[in-house]
Amino acid sequence: MTLNRNARIAAVVAFLAIVFVVVPAAISSSGRFDLYYTLTSVALLSIASAGVWLTFYIGRINIGQGAYALMGGYVSAILVMNHGWSFWLTLPVAGLFCAAASVLIALPILRLRGVYFAMVTLVLTEVARLLALALPITNGAKGIVSIPLPGALSIFGITLIPDFATLQNSRLAFYLLAVTLMVVCFAVMYRLVNSRIGKLCQSLQQNEELASSIGVNIAYLRVIAYAVSSFFGGVSGAIFAAISQSIYPSSFTVTDSVNFMLNCFLGGLGYVFGPMLGTLVLYFGWDLLFQTGQFQLLIYSGLMIVLMLVLPNGILSLAEMTRKKG
Amino acid sequence: MAEMLEVSGLTKRFGGLVAVNHVSFSVREKEILSVIGPNGAGKSTLFKLISSFLKPTTGEVRLKGERISGLAPHIAARKGVVRTFQETTIFKNMSVRDNVIIAHHLRSKASLFGFFLGTGAANADEAAFGQSADEILALLGLSSLAHETARNLPHGHLRALGIAIGLATNPSILLLDEPFAGMNHEETMRAVTMVRAVRDRGVTVLLVEHDMPAVMAISDRIVVLNFGQKIAEGTPAEIRDNPAVIAAYLGVDDEDAS
């Protein structure tokens, strides 16, 4: 990022103002309350996509994020339903569970590169779906339904977050929750990428052999990056389960995994905010094309191919190109 | 002079092929030792064995008395054995300076989490690495290219950058894989000066090379390999007059050579 410090602070303030003030105000004045749900989904999907982006950043094509989103959703749902946990506690636990599971999965598969790693992760989503169908605890194809809305969160008797069930507008509450987590997620990502860790990740992406020759523990770094990625996937899946108050084996499928990856491609693999923009454009783009009916998928796929040919470095590379020309 | 690196009885078999056969020699502190030999003599395999990129079938490599063979490459690097690469292996999408800064990774005192939080130790590391990187770039004549993206560098400078990356890890012994390959005479002479500068910083140098004039000019001692075996060891003058070496390079009928 070549923006100077003041411009960066201004951009952050403007962004926060838009997502926390302007958007809710606009929605309540226009009465389009369904947009809350749409934007909440975009925020959550962008968190999962951010995780995928991080695996891209260490040079791995990850088409398996759906598996962790599904896993996170089930962990949260099961803890709430069967063990009476508070949703707020299950949220980090779901993320950590996914991170731990991803470490076990990563140890053998992260040795693979390129298309081989991509294929294994693709299969992972399918494995997760089949597991959800087969395991007794996940209740098979019927899934887990009627999950209560998140309760109140209070620490030392002070209520930080009210009970969602008592709120008149739980959509707004979910929107604020999702957007807050998205902001935190991307702040963490930004810091990661702009610290030495980002440079180390880049060194893995560009040449693992050289990285290891200068003393970088490449296996360790790969696993860490993948665990962080899966953590994001799990958290986003857990909130999805809470919003829809249900989770099924088909809640996240291979299509979702592919979409998480496309979000990253579309926004730009070289830009930390790429997955956020990519998710927004892709989600609304798909909705807009709904009017074209049976041609929706055809036009959508065609546009994606054209975009990848014309803008191989994503939408955000446009900004850089104009800056260089100007 | 003390011995920096000891190679003893090193053997590597690939199936039925013995690429390196019971090779022993030692590298003394602050010397430049070259390993030469005709194509297919096992130089590259030997190089990978010493840098721990391959595990030996038998035999061992010791650094200052401590066994390093069989360790992972990044552990060997931590112990002080660092290699450069034959091809122009660099982080090609980073700036030249960032390439050298990242190579300081081994010297960092702060943890990864410290870097994430931006602790005092991490910031001190960053500042020290930047300064050290500038010094190394100056030493190797790369200062003017510091902010260039690495993949845009001309061939000779890429090689210099490879050496700069190796140097930044602060190695006890730097292994150079054919540092003069594909260079013209003038470039080679500049690279020879560079390698001497590296040694004068107190780094022991072991290099594997084809270019005979450069090797003769730069080496304190030379080890000659042929068909995986060591056939000679000595100063450049001794090697030049060694009949076995001449036979290996010029080719002699089998009966005469044995």
Interface residue of A201, A208, A210 to substitute, partner B, most B CBs within 10 Å: A210
Nearest-CA distance A196 → chain B (Å): 6
Check residue B111 and give its pLDDT.
79
Report the pLDDT value the prediction gives residue A286, as an integer from 0 to 100. 85
Listing DSSP states for A19-84 in one string gives IIIIHHHHHHHHT-THHHHHHHHHHHHHHHHHHHHHHHHTT-----HHHHHHHHHHHHHHHHHHH-
Give SS3 for A159. strand
Q: Hey, is the C-beta of B92 within 8 angstroms of any chain A C-beta?
A: yes
pLDDT for res A112:
84
Minimum-distance CB partner of B102 among A200, A209, A212: A200
Find chain A residues with C-beta within 8 A of B74's C-beta.
Answer: 212-213, 215-218
**Distance (Å, whole) CA B233 – CA A236:** 64
**pLDDT for res B258:** 44
Q: Is the dihedral of CA B97, B102, B103, B109 positive or negative?
A: positive
The predicted pLDDT at position A234 comes to 96
CB of B149 within 8 Å of a chain A CB? The answer is no
**Interface A:B, Cβ pairs < 8 A:** 84
Indicate the residue of A202, A214, A218 with minimum beta-carbon distance to B106: A214
Chain A contact for B93, CB < 8 A?
yes
Q: Most B CBs within 10 Å: which of A56, A213, A223, A271, as the mutation test of the B interface?
A: A213
Please tell me the distance in Å from B240's CA to the nearest CA on chain A: 33
Nearest CB neighbour to A202, from listed B72, B84, B91: B91
Candidate from B91, B116, B122 with C-beta closest to A203: B91
Minimum distance, in Å, between the CA of residue A195 and any CA atom of chain B? 6
Q: Is the pLDDT of residue B256 over 70?
A: no
Residue B108 contacts A, CB cutoff 8 Å: yes
Which residue in chain B has the smallest CA separation from A221? B112
* Cβ <8 Å between A206 and B91: yes
Candidates B112, B176, B177, partner chain A, best to mutate (most A CBs within 10 A): B112
pLDDT per residue as tens digits for the range B27-59: 999 999 999 988 888 888 999 999 998 999 999
Q: How far apart are CA A43 and CA A172, in angstroms?
A: 13
Distance from CA of A33 to the nearest CA of B (A): 38
pLDDT band at B257 (very low <50, low <70, confident <90, very high): very low
B105 in A contact zone (CB under 8 Å)? yes
Q: Is the pLDDT of residue B221 over 60?
A: yes
For residue A108, how many C-alpha atoms fall within 13 Å in the half-sphere facing its CB?
Answer: 5
Q: Are the beta carbons of B102 and A191 separated by less than 8 Å?
A: no
Q: Are B95 and B146 in contact (CB under 8 A)?
A: yes
Whether the CB of B74 is below 8 Å from some CB of chain A: the reply is yes
**pLDDT per position as a tens digit, B70-124:** 898 889 998 999 998 876 788 888 999 999 999 988 778 777 788 888 888 888 8
By CB atoms closer than 10 A (0-12, 13-18, 19+), residue B252 is middle
ipTM surpasses 0.85? no
Beta strand residue intervals within B70-190, DSSP E? 81-83, 173-177
Q: Which residues of chain B neighbour A199 with C-beta distances below 8 Å? A: 94, 98, 101-102
Question: Any idea what DSSP says for residue A290?
Answer: G
**Closest by Cβ to B74, choosing from A192, A218, A224:** A218
| Chain B nearest-CA residue for A191 | B116
| Residues of chain B with C-beta less than 8 angstroms from the C-beta of A206 | 91-94
Burial B16-49 (b: 16+ CB within 10 A, else e): eebbbbebebbbeebbbbbbbbeeebbbbbbbbb
In chain B, whose CA is at the least distance from the CA of A200?
B102
What pLDDT sits at residue A1? 46
Does B91 contact chain A (CB < 8 Å)?
Answer: yes
Show the low-confidence residues of chain A (pLDDT under 50). 1
Cβ of B94 within 8 Å of Cβ of A196? The answer is: no
| pLDDT at residue number B253 | 58
Q: What is the DSSP string of B106-140?
A: GG--S-HHHHHHT-HHHHHHHHHHHHHHHHHHHHT
Which residue is associated with the tokens 């000891």? Answer: B6
In whole angstroms, give the CA distance from residue A275 to residue A229.
13
Cα separation, A300 vs B47, whole angstroms: 52
Classify residue A255 by its DSSP letter.
H
